[in-house]
Amino acid sequence: MLNVLSGQLGDRFLAPVGTHCILELYDCPAAQLNDADLIKHSLREAAKKANATLLNEVMHQFEPQGITALALLSESHISIHTWPENGYAAVDVFTCGQHTDPEMACLYLVRAMQAGTYAVRKLPRQSETPLTSSFTIAAHALEASSPSPREMVASGIE
């Protein structure tokens, strides 16, 4: 599906490239949010639930508490940042491709982190292509096959 965006930069096609889910996890047990092994395992499982391909992982555990972890996917990424002292985690799940389901990854992480409540926002990610590019190509093709104004006058075409 192509959407059209009109605005300051002119008319553009919006071609879908992926889905970005922003997940807020509240009222999570502090132990869940500060368990490095659990976080690592949960990101791996979330990638599987999203039907995504895990390429690499990186994690940092803060002192005295908190973790930032990233699962690098062939289709983009899943990241989590935890604040055990607040029972809160911020999660991004961004996937590209029709075969992925980032919402399934989010639901898995809600359960894995034992969130009491959560909020998720789903954003379509779209690339912009100027509308004029396709019309410019068509205009050049038309010019190449059309007679010049001089040829039009000579042949009686007006």
- Nearest CA among 6, 10, 12 for reference residue 126: 12
Q: What CATH number should be reported for the domain holding residue 36?
A: 3.60.90.10
Give me the number of domains the chain comprises: 1
**Annotated catalytic sites, by residue?**
76, 81, 96
Answer yes or no: is 110 within a domain: yes
Answer yes or no: is 136 within a domain: no
- What would the pLDDT profile of 89-111 be if each residue is shown by its tens digit? 999 999 998 899 999 999 999 99
- What would the pLDDT profile of 26-48 be if each residue is shown by its tens digit? 999 999 999 999 999 999 999 99
Domain that holds residue 108: 15-126
Answer yes or no: is 138 within a domain: no
- Nearest CA among 122, 95, 132 for reference residue 4: 132
Answer yes or no: is 23 within a domain: yes
Answer yes or no: is 155 within a domain: no
C-alpha pair distances (Å), 45 with each of 30, 65, 149, 154, 156: 20, 23, 67, 74, 73
14 and 2 Cβ atoms separated by less than 8 Å: yes
Output the pTM of the full model: 0.73
Answer yes or no: is 137 within a domain: no
When mean pLDDT is compared across 36-40, 90-94, 132-136, 144-148, the lowest value belongs to 132-136
Answer yes or no: is 32 within a domain: yes
Answer yes or no: is 3 within a domain: no
- What would the pLDDT profile of 67-85 be if each residue is shown by its tens digit? 999 999 999 999 999 999 9
DSSP secondary structure of 2-71: -EEE-STT--EEEEEEEEEEEEEEES--HHHHT-HHHHHHHHHHHHHHTT--EEEEEEEE-SSS-EEEEE
